[in-house]
Chain A
Amino acid sequence: MTIIDCQNLKKRYKRLNALEDITFQLEEKKITGLIGRNGAGKTTLLKILAGFIRKSSGDIQVFSNNPFNNLRVSANSILVDDQMSFPDSLTLADILEVAPDFYKRWDTELANNLFKYFRLNPKQLHSRLSKGNRATFNMIFGLATRCELTMFDEPTNGMDEAVRSDFYRALLKDYIAHPRSILISSHHLAEMEHLLEDILLIHKGKVIFHQSLEEIKDYAVALQGPTDVVEKMTVGKEILHTKQMDSQRKYVVIRTEDVPAIEGVKIHPVTASDVCMYVTSDRKGGIDDVFK
């Protein structure tokens, strides 16, 4: 069943077109990575999906409803981001206590176990938590709601290395135990690649691709070898990225195709993370060219 159906979705802010033209569909019970550069529109898209902000035009259906101001969407989805806030009159323990009233499938056991594991102080106030601990608490809250559509916006911001890997592990384990649709945005694709089935890559408010991770891994190859040979091989091809290694050798990334084996030219696979970076790059060359 389709959870999210987005057709030509646009969102305009006063001086900015945050979303230009977003069209995609999300099937149920998949973990999808929402990938994009800074300012690509990831957060805007998630907020529209959660019903916090209005679309400007186009069509959006979450559980076959327009999410804005919709109670059904609100009851079955959650957006975990760093803007989540809770009243200062409630301690963390109080928050976990009132949550089951709102979320019918709240998993008290999971919430309490994770809470203990991450050694959060039950008497602490949410606003007084450190950035990392707040992110951890929000993550626990998000997982425990067990909403059919669970969205995380940059969930690992502020978490330390150990907590990050624990978070990914917890997410995966809970997903396997209770499959549901999870949409997780990040600019660190590499560290959560092992979780994802699909990737939704957006750039400047447009969907670049929505494919399985495997397809993206096979999207491009890199050729590395003597500059003149590599340049000859890549003539007329779509070049995604180039880098001058030294005065003789060049590194060029092109769309995957059968490249004849040539002496001195090495063919490398390109990671999904690099593919996403290259296809969303606006400039030829890299930061090195700035310093020439």
Chain B
Amino acid sequence: MFLSNSTLGEVVWTQVKFKVNAYLGTLVSLIVVQILGLILSMNGTSSMSTNFNNTDFQIVWITADTVIIFVSIWALFLGNVITTKGYRNTNFSFVTNGISNNLSNIIVLIIMSVFAGVTTFLSHYILRLVVPLFNDVGYVKSGSIIDDPLSSIASMGLMVGLILMISAGGYLWGTLVYIHRAYMFLLIVLIITLPTTKTGQMILQFIFADNGSLFVLNVKFVCVAIIFFVLAMLSSYRLEVRR
């Protein structure tokens, strides 16, 4: 009798290749979401009017914030959807076990987050190009990647960290709901209580405010993502498939 012995690393790598290939469709949805966000950003995200010496000034900030919000929702959805029954059963049609399935999902989410983060960061350059074409108002451009590469890379990294954290949240959410539907209510309660109670506010403040630099914030994002992923792995260890 000949038994093939696959190491965990080999299986995870094979699955990552397979999943990136199989989930390419999600990148199309990402691009659609980004374009939608860009269209909605054209009119500016916030504005301020002022009067100075009988001259009216209107200052409009045009940012890619809407794109970021849209992509965040996309990331939450992505993390969630790959834990659903259909995706799970699909993965178990090939060689896998619970650990390799989780690890490959996580790696795929990291790859997708890097792609989504970088493209989302770059998407505001499209605004810089397109917006001046449609009206002739004076524009003050903020620094670009060429003016200040370091801070641009830091923002890009922050975007990746943010998207990764949100997709990890979606992944944990999906895993818990897959284990038992009742977790849905628990999570909704948690999401409502977090910003409305004192302890919740303290936690949120610790993570998202009180940061010396973008780098520290990003490290916190990644740490939260790791915590989410580890919790998802621990809770799904005894999970069955094709029930």
Contacts and interface: CB of A to CB of B under 8 A. Distances in A.
B144 interface: no
Given A63-B3, A71-B6, A90 B95 contact: no
B14 interface: yes
B240 A148 contact: no
A255 interface: no
Contact of B4 (A28, A47, A76): A76
B22 A87 contact: yes
A126 B11 CA distance: 23
Nearest to A70: B97
B22 A89 contact: yes
B22 A90 contact: yes
Interface stretch (A101-109, A190-198, A221-229): A101-109
Nearest to B93: A84
B3 A72 contact: yes
A159 interface: no
A84 B94 CA distance: 10
Contacts, number: 90
Interface in A98-121: 98-99, 101-105
Given A52-B242, A53-B240, A89-B24, A104 B6 contact: yes
B99 interface: yes
Contact of A76 (B3, B96, B97, B98): B3
Contact of B90 (A1, A70, A75, A87): A87
Contacts of B206: none
B115 interface: no
Nearest to A87: B22
Given A69-B97, A74-B95, A84-B93, A102 B4 contact: no
Of B2, B93, B98, the most chain A CB neighbours within 10 A belong to B93
A98 B238 CA distance: 28
B138 interface: no
A53 B243 CA distance: 7
A3 B168 CA distance: 40
A248 interface: no
A54 interface: yes
Interface in B1-58: 1-6, 8, 11, 14, 17-18, 21-25
A1 B1 contact: yes
Given A90-B22, A148-B3, A85 B89 contact: yes
Contacts of A3: 1
B5 A75 contact: yes
A70 B89 CA distance: 16
A84 to B, nearest CB: 5
A136 B102 CA distance: 30
Of B14, B22, B99, the most chain A CB neighbours within 10 A belong to B22
Contacts of B242: 47, 52-53, 81, 83
B208 interface: no
Contacts of B175: none
Contacts of B21: 89-90, 94, 98
Nearest to A90: B22
A102 B14 contact: yes
A113 B6 CA distance: 27
B241 A71 contact: no
B143 interface: no
B76 to A, nearest CB: 21
A52 B98 CA distance: 10
Contacts of B5: 72, 75
B8 A71 contact: yes
B95 A75 contact: yes
A105 B4 contact: yes
A93 to B, nearest CB: 13
Contacts of A81: 242
A205 to B, nearest CB: 17
B25 to A, nearest CB: 5
Nearest to A105: B4
A110 B89 CA distance: 25
Given A53-B242, A85-B86, A98-B94, 19 more contacts: A52-B242, A63-B3, A70-B97, A72-B6, A75-B4, A75-B6, A75-B95, A86-B90, A86-B93, A87-B22, A87-B87, A89-B23, A90-B22, A98-B17, A101-B14, A101-B18, A103-B94, A104-B4, A104-B6
17 contacts: A52-B243, A53-B240, A53-B242, A69-B98, A69-B99, A69-B237, A75-B11, A85-B90, A85-B93, A87-B87, A89-B25, A94-B21, A102-B94, A102-B95, A104-B6, A148-B1, A148-B3
Interface of B: 1-6, 8, 11, 14, 17-18, 21-25, 86-87, 89-90, 92-100, 237-238, 240-243
- Top 10 nearest A-B pairs (CB, nearest first) are A87-B22, A53-B240, A104-B4, A102-B94, A102-B95, A69-B97, A69-B98, A75-B6, A101-B14, A75-B95
